[in-house]
Amino acid sequence: MTQRYHRELAVLATWLVMLVFLATYAPSFYAGDNLRNMLVNVAPVLVASVGITLVMLAGQIDISIGSLFSLCGVVAGLAVQAGWPMPVATMLALACGILIGAVNGALVAGMRLPAIVVTLSTLVAVRETLRYFREGEFVRNLPAGFQWFGLSQTTGQWVVVGIAAAVAIATAWGLANLTGGRAIYATGSDAEAARLVGIRPNRVVFGAFVASGALAALGALLNSVRFADVDPNAGTNLEMQAIAAVVVGGTAVTGGRGTIFGTTLGVLLLATIRPALLFLHVQPQWERAIQGAVILAAVSFVGNPLRTAAKSSTRVASTK
């Protein structure tokens, strides 16, 4: 089991070391509402990263979620601004995410176009469309029932965190226990072998992109309700942040290997670095270098799993 979850355990160890270091040298990191605020900030990223995990498990990539994240937040804000109730605004945002995810999925699975080309095109198209219509203008004058879903700030914060946690837990359970979840792993591992056992890889890939679009939209909604206005650039660089977290968490870029648990750890690790550096009074120019060092430590903390497996196989063979 340790070898199976090699990468996840490495990330967990790195994150725990960081937390212990902060407790020793910057105990103010744990003061007040800092931890809760960090969880609230990371919740939308986690939801979007879960969608990226599904796509990468299927052996594909989706770099359009940043623009999609921005668009869906604006759609929800405009719907509420126009007088639509919050449930309707939520459904419109989700429908927008699902539609764009379906377009990506149809082009990749149906027309067999490279996923990176398709999603890069979607990223640019959505971003430029949003820029043309909004010109960077925030969606303002939203009703009081929009921010924190109309709840108090503290309650709304825990609702946002709870929704993100529920998405991660439900997806992890589905991947482990449902036929569709096992089909994603099979498709990412070997699409042709999956086809021979009755799985339809094209449908699996299409479904993964649709799920990614829906989760990006949900993440956008969770992000938007944190503020009084909706920022049309809220998703800028989100795709790189989410993909980095997913890869750091142990999901293979070639597909077929990874867990939602690992993605969650990757998101938490990367989200902890920036506030940790602030509390440690590290110069801002060192932030990127230290982030890279921590990521490197996370992915190599306990050695190369392939080399470890090879050594184990050699030892087994030598005993025969």
Per-residue pLDDT of the chain (320 residues; tens, 9 = 90+): 555 677 788 889 889 998 999 999 888 888 878 889 999 999 999 999 999 999 999 999 999 999 999 999 999 999 999 999 999 999 999 999 999 999 999 999 999 999 999 999 999 999 999 999 988 899 999 998 899 999 999 999 999 999 999 999 999 999 999 999 999 999 999 999 999 999 999 999 999 999 999 999 999 999 999 999 999 999 998 998 899 899 889 898 889 999 999 999 999 998 998 888 888 888 777 777 776 776 676 666 544 444 443 443 333 334 34
**HSE-CB of 24 using CA atoms within 13 angstroms:** 6
Q: Helix 260-279 and helix 153-177: axis angle, to 10°?
A: 140
Instruction: Report d(CA 281, CA 277) in Å as an integer.
Output: 6
* pLDDT computed for residue 301 by the predictor: 53
* pLDDT computed for residue 282 by the predictor: 81
DSSP symbol at 297: H
- Multiple choice CATH, 34-300, 1.10.540, 1.10.150, 1.10.287, 1.10.3470: 1.10.3470
* pLDDT computed for residue 294 by the predictor: 67
User: Would you give the distance in Å from CA 90 to the centre of its chain?
Assistant: 19
What are the sequence ranges of the domains in the chain? 34-300
Neighbours of 301 (CB within 10 A): 16
Q: Point out which residues pair with 171 in neighbouring strands.
A: none
